[in-house]
Amino acid sequence: MSEKNDGANRDVTKRSARERLQAEREQQRKKDKRRRALLVGGAVVGVLGLAAVVGVIAANTGKGDKSAKGPVAAPSGATGKDALAIQTGKDSAKSTLTVWEDFRCPACKAFEDNYRDTLHDLENRGLLKIEFHLVTLIDGNMRGTGSLNAANAAACAQDAGKFPAYHDVLFVNQPVETDDAYAKNAKLLELAGKVDGLDTPAFRSCVEDGTHNSWVAKSHEAFRAGKFKGTPTVLLDGKDIFGDQANPLTPQKLKEKVEANAGAAGAPKPSGSASASGSAAPSASASGKPGSVAKTGVSGASGGSPGSSGAKTVTKGTTED
């Protein structure tokens, strides 16, 4: 009897062990199934997440490209190589000042604030013409679109025959470098109200549509191709006059250079005998015409000597990263 009971107990024990083993296998199978499901699900989420990131990048890239896409529409009267310069002053002026500027650039504002009166005086006297090239360095360095939008608005002002005044307004009211205020068309249109006759439906449409954005982008590419080092870059008849740290430019020095190049045209005529032989300005001929002075012409976007990152007398210029 005892042997029968022992056998029955062993059978029960074996059966229980088999059942436990089956239960453990089933449990393990379910765990493996859940793990596979999680792995597959994670992979799907990863793929979807990557697709979402790529989509965001593509969307942002598209938005960025859109601002500078489309045909290159140069503003009215644009001049120089590829019509990438906006000229102020008289065509007959003996001297040409080429200026590469960014409306968000603090050093450009410093240059304009220090030289504005001198430049306008030389232009009004017919001694100097200025070729402005607009670039977007700060947009690239600090991010944003204020440089581009402001340059487009300035080109729109050129269409309206109001570029010089609006150009000055933009620099006088320039926001701090980190404030991309000029990215807002509303701000650019607000400032247009400071220029008589500029705020018109045509100007507003030009600003809001980004009519000259591609032209501005092409101007910036010309700046990069010219291997200029920063803004402002200032060339007088093709020669860099702003980057000489040993002999910094001043408004008075610029005035003297331009007057000398024009043979002192417009300056008061000395009384009595001719001026001293040590004068830097060439004497006028007997016919009354200014003496001939050789100068190297400058093409609108051809560049010349590398630009400067600024002079000590103004402030350090903005350079491209």
SS3 per-residue string spanning 84-125: CEEEECCCCCCEEEEEEECCCCHHHHHHHHHHHHHHHHHHHC
DSSP 168-187: HHHHHTPPPTT--GGG-HHH
Q: What is the dihedral of CA 118, 307, 81, 61, to 10 degrees?
A: -110
Question: Per-residue pLDDT for 7 more than 90?
Answer: no
List, in sequence order, the alpha helices (H) in 211-275: 213-225, 251-261
Both structure tokens of 204 = 């507003």
> Which residues lie below 8 Å from residue 278, measured CB to CB, with a gap of 6+?
none
| Secondary element (H or E) of residue 127 | none
pTM of the model: 0.65
Residue with tokens 């729109």: 156
Rounded Cα distance between 5 and 1, Å, is 6
- Residue 198 has phi, psi (to 5 degrees) of -85, -40
Top-confidence residue, 109 or 5: 109
Confidence at residue 11, expressed as pLDDT on a 0 to 100 scale: 60
Instruction: Give the three-class secondary structure for 317.
Output: coil
| Span 252-307, pLDDT tens digits | 999 999 999 998 555 454 444 333 333 333 333 333 333 333 333 333 333 333 33
| Span 187-225, pLDDT tens digits | 999 999 999 999 999 999 999 999 999 999 999 999 999
For residues 126 and 266, the answer to whether their CB atoms sit within 8 Å is yes
Question: Per-residue pLDDT for 311 more than 70?
Answer: no
State the amino acid at position 36 in one-letter form: R
* pLDDT (average), residues 110-127: 98
Question: Per-residue pLDDT for 182 more than 60?
Answer: yes
